[in-house]
Amino acid sequence: MANLKTVSKKSKAQSMGMHTEVLTGRTQQKFFNPDEAENFYYFGTHDVDFNKRTEIDVKDMTAPEANKEIDNLMSQGYGTIVIKNPQGKHSLGVGILNKLNLIFEGSLGYFGMGSCDGPIVRINGRVGWSCAENLMAGKVVIEKNAGSCFGAAIRGGDLICKGSVGARTGIDMKGGTIIIGGDAGAFTGFMMQRGRIIILGNVGINLGDSMYDGTIFVGGEIGSYGSDAVDSELTSSDQDWLKRKLKVAEIGENFDVSKMKKIVAGKKLWNYDNLEPTEKKGAI
């Protein structure tokens, strides 16, 4: 460590492991400032017209070929694209960063609709692992079942599965809403940091394990609670929000939300170092 008596205040703080610098560069506020909107260019986006519609059959295409074709059609202004015969291919529809009405007539494999920001997607089939991972905004509706890690690390948007999902749904999610019409597997909401998960059916073991924040609503039975996941009171505003969300999601509109359980973070794990030894035991 440098000699603290001779260095500047800023360097001293940094030498001691603290950082006082003001962050510079593009911030969230500047990012969405309408006055600067024309200066902002979001690479890889297209202006599309929802009324301009087309179909492509991807049966004989590889996933990269299919994704390039979607990009090509968006660059031509097509705002509604129907994908025929996806046949469980992986990584279809990834990286779409603009508004788009995308319809898959069939099932997707792994990482379908990953890293997207804005599209409205309907998948008339099933999806494999890690569907819509890192979704920033938009809406993805799956008509059948989904694999594990559904909505991993999403930041925003609505992700809806009308069937059942595998394990670790919403793992590491940082925002947005995940809605499950059926059952969900083990470790749902594992390490979630923000956002909401709604499960109308049953959920497996270790629900909300090590969650930092966020809220999970469960309509059915809970296999077991994970570390630091605790019950919370379901308020009337929660119920209003649930009704509105389920209606918009076209799922469980008549579901009795008043009997749902609300699970939140006990917030012991993230203050772990400040806990007494006996409290530490309780936290884990």
Partner 1 sequence: MCGIAGLIHRGKSSNVGSELQGMLQALKHRGEDSTGYALYGDTDGKNFIMRFKVGENVGEGSSSVMEDVSVYDERKKIVDETLAEMGAKIVKEERTLPYSLRYEIDYNVKDLLEFSQRIESIPGVEILSMGKSLEVIKDLGNAKMVCDRYSLDKVVGTHAIGHARMATESGVDIKSAHPFWGYPFSDVSVVHNGQLTNYWNNRRVLENKGMRFMSECDSELIAVYLAEKMRDGATLEEGMKASLTGLDGVFTYFVATKDSLGMAKDTMAAKPLVLYESDDLVAMGSEEIAIRSVLPQEIDTYDPFDGEVKVWQI
Residues that bind partner 1 (CB under 8 A): 87-90, 105-107, 109-110, 125-126, 128-129, 144-148, 163-168, 183, 185-187, 204-205
Tally helices (H) and strands (E) across the chain: 5, 11
The residue (of 69 and 105) whose beta carbon lies closer to partner 1 is 105
- Residue 182 C-beta: closest distance to partner 1, Å: 9
88: left (phi over 0), alpha (psi -120 to 50) or beta: left
Distance from C-alpha of 222 to C-alpha of 140, rounded to nearest angstrom: 26
> Residue 48 or residue 92: which is nearer to partner 1 going by CB?
92
What is the nearest approach in angstroms of partner 1 to the Cβ of residue 161? 11
Nearer to partner 1, 205 or 234 (CB): 205
Least distance to partner 1, CB of residue 34, Å: 43
Cα gap 59→197, rounded to integer Å: 34
CB of residue 98 to partner 1, shortest distance in Å: 28
Per-residue exposure over 180-193, b if at least 16 CB sit within 10 Å of its own CB, e if not: bbbbbbbbbbbbbe
Q: How far is the CB of 201 from partner 1 (least distance, A)?
A: 11
Residue with smaller CB distance to partner 1, 103 or 264: 103
Dihedral, 188, 190, 193, 198 alpha carbons, nearest 10: 0
Q: Which is nearer to partner 1, 173 or 257 (CB)?
A: 173
Query: Looking at beta carbons only, is 95 or 125 nearer to partner 1?
Result: 125
Burial of 109 (0-12, 13-18, 19+ CB in 10 A): buried
> For the chain, what is the largest distance between any 2 Cα atoms, rounded to a whole number of angstroms?
71
Nearest CA among 124, 63, 61, 58 for reference residue 90 = 63
Minimum CB separation from partner 1 for residue 155, in Å? 24
